[in-house]
Amino acid sequence: MSKVVIGMSGGVDSSVAAIVLKNMGYEVIGLFMRNWDSTVNNDYLGNPNLNNNICPQEDDFNDAKAVCEKLDIPLYRIDFVKEYWDYVFTYFLDELKVGRTPNPDIMCNKYIKFDLFIKEAKKLGADFIATGHYARIKDGKLLRAVDSNKDQTYFLSQLSNKQLENVLFPIGDLVKSDVRRIAKEYGLITANKKDSTGICFIGERNFKEFLKNYLPAKPGNVMNIETKEIIGTHQGLMYYTIGQRKGLNIGGNTDKMFVVGKNLKDNILYVAFGEDNDYLKSDSCIVSNMNFISKERPKKCQAKFRYRQTDIDVEIEYLDNNEIIVHYNNVKAVTPGQACVLYLGDECLGGGIIKEVLKDNEKIWYLL
């Protein structure tokens, strides 16, 4: 009997993934990763969204433990807090400091969940490792999940072929409603548990308050890019991203106001009004740190510049030093620091990090 070590997060997806594996005849072992010290700053205390003031990760571990006991699966626990800080959180802070919009979940998959986790799983005698990601692997190709609304290949785009060897995604062929149904049929404590959203180490905490513990907030002026008028005050450039409309909190009528640029030198946040303003539109971008999962190198394919974005038809220009230029037609809010992920139909070809954004072959001044 082949042995599978599955990452048990305390959520419904990994819970049902474990059920699927057991029903397929595998010997299943659970492994819970502690990647962040949730007691830091103690700012989860008193949060009405959290259960009885229990540290959120302890809450998740207790749920994972209850599921494994119900399914008669052994559960182990491993601490990657230091490694997560070194490889993921430091990257997150460094990107924010230079005005970019990082995606720590992609780096967590690359350095923690599909690297350190795999090494630990092998110590437990794993023939395969598994997670509750919505994705599929077939004939060595990384494919989108059947449930397009939950597909997570975007976040797996920095993985290597080596990392994806002997990896199973048991719920990649299921839709979310079926996952919930199966969890209820088995009477699991996670059946109705809310999905985690946002950045994992922030969770239910206030993003701005959380960041103040690590980066000093530097309030500055907000400028209307068209009139050059100062129209308000921002709370710190790191709190805003290109294309943002909601949560600006700078006073006045912000309903149709969009973030269109940052001036780090003078600490100015640029905004423009109107959903169709030209300041957000671009027609190409330079993508660095390209990681190709597939052997395919098409000239034409599809791309996503952010998670849940509708596929964009693009043309690819391949450069040296692991960079590409992605050409497209008037896409809004392509943002430095975010991931550009390439697809050919259902296959995820790989992805990289958006380095520069261009319009008519000129660099857009998103970041000054």
Catalytic residues: 108, 200
Question: The tokens of 114 are what?
Answer: 């599909």
In three-state form (DSSP H/G/I as H, E/B as E, the rest C), the secondary structure along the chain is CCEEEEECCCCHHHHHHHHHHHHCCCEEEEEEEECCCCCHHHCCCCCCCCCCCCCHHHHHHHHHHHHHHHHCCCEEEEECHHHHHHHHHHHHHHHHHCCCCCCHHHHHHHHHHHHHHHHHHHHCCCCEEECCCCEEEECCEEEECCCCCCCCHHHHCCCCCCCCCCEECCCCCCCHHHHHHHHHHCCCCCCCCCCCCCCCCCCCCCHHHHHCCCCCCCCEEEEECCCCCEEEEECCHHHCCCCCCCCCCCCCCCCCEEEEEEECCCCEEEEEECCCCHHHEEEEEEEEEEEECCCCCCCEEEEECCCCCCCEEEEEEECCCCCEEEEEEEEECCCCCCEEEEEECCEEEEEEEEEEEEECCEECCCEC
Note whether 331 and 282 are within 8 A (CB): yes
How far from the centroid of its chain's Cα atoms is residue 140's Cα?
23
- Using CA atoms, how far apart are residues 152 and 161, in angstroms rounded to an integer? 17
